[in-house]
Amino acid sequence: MSSHYEFKPSPYSSHQLLLGLLPAAGGGRRVLDLGCGNGELAVRLAERGFAVTGVERAGGYTPPGPSGVRLVEADLEAGIPEVGGPFDVVLCADILEHLCEPGRLLDRIRPLLRPEGRLVASLPNSGNLYFRLNVLAGRFPQQDKGLFDRTHLRFYMWAGWQELFRAHGYEFETVRPSGIPVGLAFPRAAESLPVKAAEWLSYAVARLWKKLFAYQFVVAARPVERVP
CATH number assigned to the domain comprising residue 61: 3.40.50.150
Q: Look at residue 2 in the predicted model and tell me its pLDDT.
A: 40
If 0-12 CB within 10 Å is exposed, 13-18 middle and 19+ buried, where does residue 141 land? exposed
Give every residue of the chain whose pLDDT is below 50, as ranges: 1-3
Could you give the angle at the alpha carbon of 158 between the alpha carbons of 154 and 162, nearest 5°?
A: 85
Coil, strand or helix at 51? strand
Pairing of strands 216-223, 113-124: antiparallel
Sheet holding 170-178, edge to edge: 70-73, 51-56, 30-34, 87-93, 113-124, 216-223, 170-178
Range of the domain at 37: 14-128+154-223
What was the pLDDT predicted at 59?
92
**Does 202 map to a domain?**
yes
**Is 142 inside any structural domain?**
no
Specify if 141 maps to a domain: no
Pairing of strands 113-124, 87-93: parallel
Q: Distance between CA atoms of 182 and 180, rounded to whole angstroms?
A: 6
| Separation CA 169–CA 128 (nearest Å) | 26
- Residue 134 burial (CB < 10 Å; 0-12/13-18/19+)? middle
**155 neighbors 97 (Cβ within 8 angstroms):** yes
> Given this model, what pLDDT does residue 191 score?
83
In this prediction, residue 180 carries a pLDDT of 87
* 38 inside domain: yes
- 105, containing H or E segment: helix 102-109
Q: Is residue 228 part of a domain?
A: no
Is residue 134 in a domain?
no
Q: Kindly state the DSSP code that residue 66 receives in the 8-state scheme.
A: S
- Structurally, the chain folds into a number of domains equal to 1
Residue 181 lies in a domain: yes
Within-domain flag for 194: yes
Q: What is the pLDDT of residue 60?
A: 92
**pLDDT attached to residue 227:** 58
